[in-house]
Amino acid sequence: MKSTIHHIEQTTSTQQEAHRLIAEGGVKTGDIVLADEQTAGRGRFGRSWISPNGGLYATVICSADPLLSLKAGLAVVRALRSVGIEAGLKWPNDVMVENLKIAGVLIETDGNHSLVGIGLNLTSAPLQTATCVAVYVNKPDRNEWAQAIADLLFDIPSGSAAIDEYRSVCLTLGNPVSIDGIGNNPPVGGIAVDVDDCGRLIVQTREGKRIVSSGECLHLRESNLSG
Ligand code: BTN
C-alpha cells in the first residue's frame, strides 16, 4: 500500500497527531504519522511511553479489523525477524526479545479508522525490563522501519492464517500466567493454552477454561519460543 509519511520532529503523541489529521481530513488509510520524539507518548492501560529521540514512534492509519491488535504485533515481529532478531509476542502484542520488551502496540479507534501506534526501541532501552534493536543490529533508520512495519501489517492475511502465525510466535502459550486489569475483577490465573479465532486468550484455571479478551498478561515464569 502506498503510504504518505507525515513526519513531525516533536509531538505530544503520534496518536494525538493522527486523531487531529483525521479530523482535518489530512490522512488516508495506510498513511503513517512518525515523530522523532514524543513528550507525552501513550502506552496501554493509560501508562506513558518514554519517547526520547532515537526511537521509532509511529501511528499507522488502518481500517477497522477485529484482529488488528494481533496483526500489528505480528508485523513488528516479522520486521525484527527479517533482520535476524528473534522476537516473539507476549499476549496480546508486547514484542519481546530474550524476555525483554523491545516494542509495544497501542490501538485506538477514530470513526471508521483504527490507529495503530507502534513504539520500537531502536537505539536505547528506556527501562531495565526493555531492550533495543541496537543491541542486535545497526539499523537505526526510522523511516525504513516504519514503512517496513506498515507494509508487513497490510500484508498479513486475514482469519485463521493470521491466528496460526500468531500462535507460532506467541511466547505466552504454555506458560503459567496471570491476567490483570479485567474491569474490577480479580486476576485470572492459570496456564495459557490457546488463542482463539478472535484473538482471545484461553486460560486453563483450576475452575475450568476462561476466555480472556483483554487485560495485562504477566508470565509467571520466563518463556522462550520453544515453550
Ligand atoms: C504499550 O504500552 O506497550 C504500547 C506503547 C505504544 C507506544 C506508541 S509510540 C507511537 C504511538 N504514539 C503513542 O503515544 N503511543 C504509541
Q: Which of 21, 34, 57 to mutate to test the pocket of ligand 1 (most atoms within 8 A of CB)?
A: 57
- pLDDT in the model for residue 186: 86
Task: Tell me the mean pLDDT in the region 122-145.
Answer: 95
Q: Where are the beta strands (DSSP E) in the chain?
A: 5-11, 32-38, 56-63, 88-90, 94-97, 100-110, 113-120, 176-180, 188-195, 201-205, 208-212, 216-219
Confidence class for position 227, pLDDT limits 50, 70, 90: very low
User: 57 CB less than 6 Å from ligand 1?
Assistant: yes
- Express as a percent the part of the chain with pLDDT over 70: 96
Confidence class for position 226, pLDDT limits 50, 70, 90: very low
Q: Does residue 74 carry a pLDDT above 70?
A: yes
- pLDDT in the model for residue 154: 96
209 CA to centre of ligand 1 in angstroms: 31
Confidence class for position 224, pLDDT limits 50, 70, 90: low
Query: What is the spatial distance between Cα 201 and Cα 42, in angstroms, rounded to a whole number?
Result: 24
Q: Does residue 2 carry a pLDDT above 80?
A: no
Q: Which of 20, 32, 118 to mutate to test the pocket of ligand 1 (most atoms within 8 A of CB)?
A: 118
Query: What is the spatial distance between Cα 30 and Cα 142, in angstroms, rounded to a whole number?
Result: 17
The string of pLDDT tens digits covering residues 78-109 is 999 999 999 999 999 999 999 999 999 999 99
Q: Which of 15, 62, 89 to mutate to test the pocket of ligand 1 (most atoms within 8 A of CB)?
A: 15
User: 121 CB less than 6 Å from ligand 1?
Assistant: no
